[in-house]
Structure 1
Amino acid sequence: MGMLKGLSTSMNAKISGNAGAEVIVLAHGYGGEQSIWEKIVPSLEEKNQVVLFDWNFSGAFSEDNNHSYDPIKYDSLDAFANDLVSLMDEMNIKSCVFVGHSMSGMIGCIASIKRPLLFKKLILIGASPRYLNSEDYEGGFEPSEIEQLLSTIESNFQPWATAFAPIAVGTKDPLIAEKFEKSLKKMKPEVALAVAKIVFLGDYCHVLEKVETPCTLISTTYDIVVPSSVPYYMQKKMINAKSRVEIIDVDGHLPHLSAHEEVLIVLSKELYS
């Protein structure tokens, strides 16, 4: 690829695997970093090119003044979608399969509307367009719960991360919870709060009908963050995209960590069938 510059440097972007093959872009979610994908990367690299990177809110992001986290610039998921498109352009990627976890799911949707030709397919893991409940929508949280969550992140970020990681991961395996906890705790508390506000107070339901890229929505049987009705709601709203829902029979918000073999089965069905 030669020397990459700008965004790709600060976002620690790297491309590996089978040169000339399909490009798969893996985008981590809130509290994550690219190492969260490590269990599925080796299998994907056998037949594809794999792109990994760290979002600028991640604790693994390389600080650089041009691209560091500015809460005024990053006031919605739109700014991250712009970064994603710019990163792809800088890496000279003309088309990709985008795999986005959690908040990256909606970032991928927004980016695909901006640049449809760049995205062949969207594969979203634990994505949600809105976390607040309303009369006709189950987002998973009441306004008071979100208020409480944000004030805890603000006042007690580290203890909150310790408590949240195992619940989010939803597995009995302490090593998996510990991996996510470490990654979460690397975030700067003020950045963690700013991003949590964008995620938990945002409403991106209106974006779904504009998506035209084929989309697979991967969900687990029980996810503390995203109710199981959400992927079906998203599918119903994606009136212009061919979409389908895949439910993996495990608990938790990070199946690529806790049930990577099941995730790989879904991915290979999407990539090779």
Structure 2
Amino acid sequence: MDFLNGEGGIVGALNAKVYGNGTETLVLSHGFGSDQTVWHYILPYLACYFKVVVFDMIFSANVNPQLYNPHRYSKFDSYAEDLICLLDQLNVTSSIYLGHSMSAMIGCIAATHRPHLFKHIILLSGSPRYLNAKGYYGGFKRSDVEMVFKDIKQDYHAWVKNFSPQAVGVNDTASIHEFECSLGRMKPNITLHVAKTVFLSDLRWVLRHVKIPCTIIQSERDFVVPISVAEYMKHKLGDDTKVEILKTKGHLPQLTAYPLLLEVLKRVLHIND
């Protein structure tokens, strides 16, 4: 992590920002293809009640691409190390963590290394494995993801144009455009490497080691993560894990169904207006 030694350390490298001045810290970590702006609908509200930390993941187009080390970031553990290092540099000793998509499992891994750093983990549209396996439905066949990799390599911008509405999942022009822009600004070689890391991962083993209270939030229909994954995760995480199903479609409810998401977060975070 050479960039830790640069000006601003990891806080500067990942453009970390803190909003609000609540007594509790809430960390918002975005997923594949997004950046910290994906939280813009819900951030102002949450900042009224919490000290909210947002940042860009190392693969984001907002981060210096020279900092992305393909060898290091071929495993989720390195992302978890970055998260812990970021919170340490911000002097965060206890937090509520909300991780979207791949960041859900990053939070789970981080919590197995530093459990006292997290008092509650919220898994939004998360999955421990995207490929189908014996007795497990992850939503994708190996041939599906190989086609994704091929399309990214052959014509990146055409793939972005096709994948964005599928991921967004609803006919919401503004949200599709927003996700398409953040994904399209990424370097194609970085996108391909991150896609391989995500879609070929199998992190099911991590779930049983998470001892922090968890809440799973999932859309009823999600092209990327089938609803059965939420039940699988609940079973592996333990009976005290709660599952909240949003009556909406798509992988990015923080963009497309933020009023619904906020209503759930109010309950989960015990916010009383």
**TM-score grouping bracket, smaller chain normalisation:** over 0.9
Pairing 1:16–2:16 present: no
Summarize the alignment of residues 150-229 of structure 1 with structure 2, pairs less than 5 Å apart: 150-229=149-228
Question: C-alpha deviations, 1:112-155, integer Å up to 9, x for none?
Answer: 11100000100011000001101200000111111111111122
| Equivalent pair of 1:97/1:120 in contact (CA under 8 Å) | yes
Distance 2:217 2:124 in 1: 5
Q: C-alpha deviations, 1:199-254, integer Å up to 9, x for none?
A: 00010000000001110100001000001100100010113x73111000000000
* Alpha-carbon distance between aligned partners in 1 of 2:97 and 2:138, rounded to the nearest angstrom: 24
On the 8 A contact 2:253/2:261 being kept in 1, the answer is yes
Please give the secondary structure, in 2, of the residue aligned with 1:74. Answer: helix
Secondary structure at the aligned position of 2:195 is classed as helix
2:47 alignment counterpart: 45
SS in 2 for 1:272: coil
The corresponding residue for 2:252 is 254
Q: What is aligned with 1:5? A: 8
Q: Sort the Cα spacing of 1:105 and 1:144 in 2 relative to 1 into closer, same or farther, 3 A.
A: same
Deviation sequence 1:175-214 (CA, Å, 0-9, x none): 1100000011111100000000010001000000000111
Q: Structure 1 segments of 4 or more deviating over 6 A?
A: none
Unaligned runs of 5+ in 1: none
Return the alpha-carbon distance in structure 2 between the equivalents of residues 191 and 250 of structure 1: 31
Stretch moving more, 241-250 or 208-217: 241-250
Corresponding residue for residue 3 of structure 2: none
8 Å Cα contact 2:96/2:121 also seen in 1: yes
TM-score (norm 2): 0.95
Report the CA distance between 1:258 and its aligned residue.
0.2
Write out aligned runs for 1:233-244 (5 A).
233-239=232-238, 242-244=240-242
Contact 2:59 2:65 in 1 (8 A): no
Contact 1:14 1:51 in 2 (8 A): yes
CA distance in 2, matches of 1:26, 1:20: 15
Q: SS in structure 2 opposite 1:26?
A: strand
Aligned length: 265
SS at match of 1:98: strand
Whether the aligned pair in 2 keeps the contact of 1:208 and 1:238 (CA below 8 Å) is yes
Q: For residues 72 and 219 of structure 1, what CA distance do their matches in structure 2 show?
A: 31
Aligned to 1:71: 70
Equivalent residue number for residue 95 of structure 1 = 94
Structure 2, gaps ≥5 residues long: 1-6
Q: Aligned partners of 2:243, 2:270: CA distance in 1, in Å?
A: 18
8 Å CA contact retained: 1:122, 1:215? yes
Q: Which residue of 2 aligns with 1:141?
A: 140
CA positional deviation for 1:20: 4.4
Q: How far is 1:105 from its partner?
A: 0.3
For residues 129 and 85 of structure 2, the distance between their equivalents in structure 1, rounded to whole angstroms, comes to: 25
Matched residue of 2:18: which SS? strand
Give the aligned residue type for 2:166.
I
Q: Is the 8 A contact 2:169 2:251 kept in 1?
A: yes
- Tell me whether 1:267 sits opposite 2:265 in the alignment: yes
| Residue aligning to 1:32 | 34
**Structure 1 position 75, deviation (Å):** 1.4
Answer whether contact 1:130 1:202 (CA < 8 A) is retained: yes
Q: CA RMSD in A?
A: 1.2
Deviation, 1:64, is: 7.5
Paired residues of 2:149 and 2:195 also in contact (CA < 8 A): yes
Task: Specify the SS of the correspondent of 2:58.
Answer: coil
Confirm or deny: 8 A CA contact 1:220 1:247 kept in the other structure. yes
